Amino acid sequence: MKKTKKFAVSILCGIMAVFLCFFLNIYSAKAASSASVSVEGASGNVGDEVSVKITISSSDEISATKIYLSYDASALQYVSGADSGSAGSVLWIDVDTFKTKTRTVNFKVMKAGETSVSVSSGSSVASSSGDYMQVNAGSGTVKGNAPSTASSDNYLSSLKVSPGTLSPAFSKDVTEYTMTVGGDVAKLVVSATASSPEAKISVTGTRMDPGDNKTYITVTAENGTKKTYVISTYKDVTAQTEPDGGGVETPAEPVTPDEDAKEIAVGDNRFAIDGDFEAHPVPAGFEASTVIIDDTEVPAAKGFSDKITLVYLVSLDGNAKAGYYIYDSVKKSYDYYIDIEQLESHYAYLPVTSGMEIPSGFEIETMEIEGCNVDVLKPSGRKDTAEFYLFYGMDSSGKAGWYVYDMKYSTVQRFFFDGTVNEYFSDANVEKATAAPASAKATSKLNDNLKTVIVIISLALSVVCLVIAIVSVGKLHKKR
């Protein structure tokens, strides 16, 4: 009986060794390392400089870091500490090897209230073996303290929408409204005025999808306190909205302009400039103004730090889309205004011209956006599968350049183009050799050798246990 038990134990040891080898191989192949990125908040008075600490940590060695931080450019102004920065985004690039590292980024507080600094999409961290690590992103809050004399008025004095009618009628004390639009309405045009000249207004949720939609108009007082007005809109796909002069229209038949309307030609299409801002409320972030076109002063809207001028064009032959167009006074060109809302920021599409430098690894492709053909950039060889594209545009602070549009999450991020950095992070399988060839390859080889040693030891244990089991069986058979 004892010999039989020894035999069973030997067989069990052999089986356990085989399974140990199997699971060690699975673990070494599939275990994914991760890195945590935390953002430490700060506070300060308006006009002061505050320091925000960003810490990257992992139980494994990190040897390649690309961290994007996003923030509200109207609340904070980047000062120093990052490798590059612009309105709304900063970038931290690091090719040192470490397990924990902290970088301090300095901002100037521009207005009162709370705002966040967050790790945004596009951030990536690579291990010393050259593999991407899972990034656990964090965010921190920066509080701006207002002067004691700052106004607390966060009311609206007027609120108009087009198309549609608010119910109930607007009152500054009423913050919730309802309305219905037809199935042909793609976007709601909101015109809002703050009661206090020091207050700021942001509008989000103007895109109209079938069914229920919500549009938010947030008023931020000088002292940072906020009040939000909400418009609940039902888009009835079975009905059509009669054009009331607002929003975006596609005329079904030619339009007869007023006698004093300025007529222009855009390609093969004829337009008239319509300056009725009551019928066509200016887009959020713009103010009514004028511009000289062909020695004639015409109504216009200016925004994006006065770097973009819009004119409202109505097709005279019914073959083109009516709406606000970007007027380029140098090229004498008109491009349909496409706006992307991101929290309190706006981005405008600008045309891609032949003289622009196209980032390596991208190709120009024409996409239909809001009924217009727009040139964008997509990754070479992955144009049909990529979930993002680059567009040339301008943010609300007036900064022009390439921007990344994430089609999955509908977010916008500044695209930093640097030959080395772009090449280093361009492929999904990061090659550490681009930044530090010797150390990365050596570390990767060391890790592979370690895995091989583990497998060999496991196999050796399996063989030993199986030999013991066979010998035990032989002895037992011989004695019997």
Q: Are residues 139 and 42 in the same domain?
A: yes
Instruction: Residue 105: give the domain boundaries.
Output: 34-145
Q: Are residues 94 and 131 in the same domain?
A: yes
**344 lies in some domain:** no
Q: Give the domain CATH number at 168.
A: 2.60.40
Q: Are residues 235 and 198 in the same domain?
A: yes
**272 lies in some domain:** yes
**442 lies in some domain:** no
Q: Are residues 313 and 356 in the same domain?
A: no
| Residues pairing with 203 in the sheet | 217
Q: Are residues 260 and 226 in the same domain?
A: no
Q: Are residues 233 and 277 in the same domain?
A: no
Contact, 57 vs 100, CB < 8 A?
A: yes
Nearest to 392 by CA among 375, 367, 408, 368: 375
**pLDDT in the model for residue 470:** 67
Segment 292-300 mean pLDDT: 85
Q: pLDDT tens digits for 139-173?
A: 889 988 877 788 889 999 999 998 889 999 999 99
Q: pLDDT tens digits for 437-478?
A: 344 444 444 455 555 656 666 666 666 666 666 666 566 556
Q: pLDDT tens digits for 102-145?
A: 999 999 998 777 888 888 767 888 888 778 888 888 888 998 88
Q: Are residues 130 and 153 in the same domain?
A: no
**pLDDT in the model for residue 448:** 54
Which of 187, 213, 242 corresponds to the end of one domain? 242
Which of 337, 370, 391 corresponds to the end of one domain? 337
Q: Are residues 133 and 68 in the same domain?
A: yes
Which of 210, 242, 274 corresponds to the end of one domain? 242
**403 lies in some domain:** yes
SS3 content of the chain, % helix, strand, coil (to 5): 15, 45, 35
Residue 6 has pLDDT above 60, yes or no: no
Q: How many domains does the chain have?
A: 5
Close Cβ partners of 206 (under 8 Å, ≥ 6 residues apart): 187, 188, 189, 190, 215, 341
Comparing 185-199, 377-391, 421-435, the range with the smallest average pLDDT is 421-435
Q: Are residues 311 and 382 in the same domain?
A: no
Q: Are residues 265 and 276 in the same domain?
A: yes
Residue 60 has pLDDT above 80, yes or no: yes
Q: Are residues 13 and 26 in the same domain?
A: yes
Segment 88-107 mean pLDDT: 88
**215 lies in some domain:** yes
Segment 215-230 mean pLDDT: 88
Amino acid at 181: V
Q: Give the domain CATH number at 110.
A: 2.60.40.680
CA distance 462 to 14: 5
**419 lies in some domain:** no
Q: Does the global pTM surpass 0.75?
A: no
Q: Are residues 38 and 26 in the same domain?
A: no
**pLDDT in the model for residue 327:** 92
Percent of the chain predicted with pLDDT > 70: 74
Query: Best-predicted range by mean pLDDT among 85-99, 184-198, 309-323?
Result: 184-198
Comparing 221-225, 263-267, 435-439, 445-449, the range with the smallest average pLDDT is 435-439
**62 lies in some domain:** yes
**417 lies in some domain:** no
